[in-house]
Structure formats: C-alpha cells, structure tokens
C-alpha cells in the first residue's frame, strides 16, 4: 500500500483519495499499485456498491510523477500481475463491472483526464480544469483515450486537446460532454459523496447491467489500450521523452531535432 493513497469504506462507498498534495498528487508506480489493488478489491466486495476517486488539496492529479515514471519499466509479462503497476491500474478500471465515480476537485492532467473516461459519472469542482499534454512530453495518449475521448467530445475537440495540450475549464468540459456535473468549490467533496451514495443505494444488479449495456465496446477498448501501451513504452525510451523531462526539470523549452 502506498503512503500516498487512502482507502475509506463507508455506507457501501469505497473512496480512493490521492494524498500527495505537496506534489500536486503526481502519481508514482507505488500509488498505481495501491489504486489497482483497491479497484480489484472493490470488484470482489459484494458490500461495496460504488467507488469514488478524489484528490486531496487543490489538485485531482497533475499526472504521472515524471522522475518516478522515467525510471519505471514500460514492459511487462503475459499476466496482469506481471505488468507494471500503471498497466495493472488501467486494466482494473477498464474491466470493473461496478460503478466508478470521478470527483475532480482540481486540475486533472494527463491520466487525471484519461482515467475519467473509464468512470461512469464524472463530477467536477467549478475551478477544476482538464488537460492531456502528452505530446509536450514526447508521449502519446493512453488508457484507450485515443478512442474514448473522440467518442466523448468529438474528433475535432479531441485532436485539439491532444495535439495542442489546451486546458479545458469545467464549464467547457460539461458543454462538451466530458463530465456530467459541476459543483461549487465550497462543499465539493460532500456533493461528490452524495452523488456516489446515490449510485451505491441503487439496485446493484440493475446498475451492473446498465453499465454493461452502456459499455459494449470493451474488446475494442482493450485492443486500442494495448496499441497505445506499446507506442507509449517505445516513447518512454525515446530521445524525445528524455529531452522533454530534462527540459521540464530545468524549466526551459524543449528542443527536438
């Protein structure tokens, strides 16, 4: 279990809180492992009826911890338990048959955006923002987002988000259909929990069936996720990624050949 992930269980809601506010909730491999384990445990727990992701402090998450990620192995074995923690987590949210809720309390960057595409309800604080600056890091979209984001907001808008790294406000995200609700910053956590409780108190089998009917493309999602992962892994070893990380750490513009 990571020190930077807190798991709470109450009233049939499992709450997964990213607790690394001093680093803008940047996610390490240890945090991914803890989140993957939490989602898999939730799937097996008949008493748990909803799982909610939320961040502590001002950020939902600033994305991957670049120093941690640049050292992590990008490959993996044939079985899920042989895979890197980040891939285990992506598989867990992809395969979860039970409801997932994202409570986006602040900026959601990179995987902060793409994980919401696997959540069934996404609520955001008024001040929340969304961005996917993969290209600026010499990387590519992940979590099957190259399929799911165009489906959610349209190809033109998705291309804009991915290729320019533009930042979306909560209002823009609601208008595009990326999120389902906006709550005021003050009292956001309570409003988000009330939404999760609404899901948790519903008929569980009907909820599972409804999710399955809404998400009939899992085979395609798995295929796209695998393709993305292979390209992402290659880019992690590329001079582009190395230069992007070096430039970001040195707070200078990246220079690509």
Summarize pLDDT for 48-76 with one digit per residue, the tens.
999 999 999 999 999 999 878 766 544 44
Give the largest CA-CA distance in the chain.
Answer: 57
> Which pair of structure tokens corresponds to residue 175?
């208008």
Q: What average pLDDT does the segment 103-109 reach? A: 98
Q: Are strands 168-169 and 129-131 parallel, antiparallel or unpaired?
A: antiparallel
Q: What average pLDDT does the segment 218-242 reach? A: 93
Counted residue by residue, the chain has a size of 257
Cα 15 to Cα 110, 120, 162, distances in angstroms? 21, 15, 29
**Three-state DSSP class for residue 55:** strand
Residue with tokens 């009826």, as numbered in its chain: 49
Residue 22 has pLDDT above 60, yes or no: yes
Q: Which helix (H) or strand (E) holds 222?
A: helix 218-236
Question: What does the mean pLDDT of the chain come to?
Answer: 93
Reference 53, options 76, 72, 27; nearest CA is 27
Residue 78 has pLDDT above 80, yes or no: no
Q: What average pLDDT does the segment 213-230 reach? A: 93
Distance CA(88)–CA(246), nearest Å, equals 27
- pLDDT band per the 50, 70, 90 thresholds, residue 153: very high
Residue with tokens 């009292």, as numbered in its chain: 187
Residue 219 has pLDDT above 90, yes or no: no
pTM to 2 decimal places = 0.93
User: Could you tell me which CATH number the domain at 5-185+203-211 has?
Assistant: 3.90.226.10
State the pLDDT at residue 69: 75
DSSP codes joined into one string, 113-167: HHGGGG-SEEEEETT-EEE--TGGGT----TTHHHHHHHHH-HHHHHHHHHH-PP
Residue with tokens 């987590």, as numbered in its chain: 89
> Which pair of structure tokens corresponds to residue 59?
């950020």
State the pLDDT at residue 73: 40
Percent of the chain with pLDDT over 90: 87
State the pLDDT at residue 74: 42
Q: pLDDT for 163-180, tens place per residue?
A: 999 999 999 999 999 999
User: What's the distance, CA 57 to chain centroid?
Assistant: 17
Q: What average pLDDT does the segment 204-220 reach? A: 94
Distance CA(195)–CA(183), nearest Å, equals 11
- pLDDT band per the 50, 70, 90 thresholds, residue 81: low
**Residues in Cβ contact with 67 at an 8 Å cutoff, skipping those fewer than 6 apart:** 245, 249
- CB-CB contact of 27 with 62 (8 Å): no
- CB-CB contact of 51 with 104 (8 Å): no
């Amino acid at each position: 279990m990571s020190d930077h992930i807190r798991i709470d269980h109450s009233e049939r809601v499992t709450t997964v809180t990213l607790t690394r506010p001093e680093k803008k909730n940047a996610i390490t491999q240890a945090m991914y492992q803890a989140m993957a384990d939490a989602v898999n445990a939730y799937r097996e727990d008949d008493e748990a009826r909803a799982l909610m992701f939320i961040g502590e402090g001002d950020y939902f998450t600033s994305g991957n911890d670049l120093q941690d990620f640049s050292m992590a192995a990008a490959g993996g074995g044939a079985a899920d338990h042989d895979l890197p923690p980040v891939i285990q987590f992506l598989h867990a949210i992809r395969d979860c048959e039970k409801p997932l809720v994202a409570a986006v309390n602040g900026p959601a960057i990179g995987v902060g955006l793409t994980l919401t595409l696997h959540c069934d309800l996404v609520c955001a604080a008024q001040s929340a923002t969304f961005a996917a600056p993969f290209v600026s890091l010499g990387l590519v979209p992940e979590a099957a987002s190259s399929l799911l984001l165009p489906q959610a907001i349209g190809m033109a808008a998705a291309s804009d988000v991915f290729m320019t790294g533009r930042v979306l406000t909560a209002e823009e995200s609601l208008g595009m259909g990326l999120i389902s609700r906006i709550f005021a910053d003050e009292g956001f956590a309570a409003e988000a929990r009330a939404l999760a409780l609404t899901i948790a108190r519903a008929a569980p089998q009907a909820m599972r069936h409804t999710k399955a009917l809404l998400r009939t493309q899992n085979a395609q999602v798995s295929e796209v996720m695998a393709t993305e992962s292979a390209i992402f892994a290659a880019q992690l070893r590329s001079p582009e990624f190395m230069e992007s990380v070096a430039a970001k750490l040195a707070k200078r513009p990246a220079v690509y050949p």
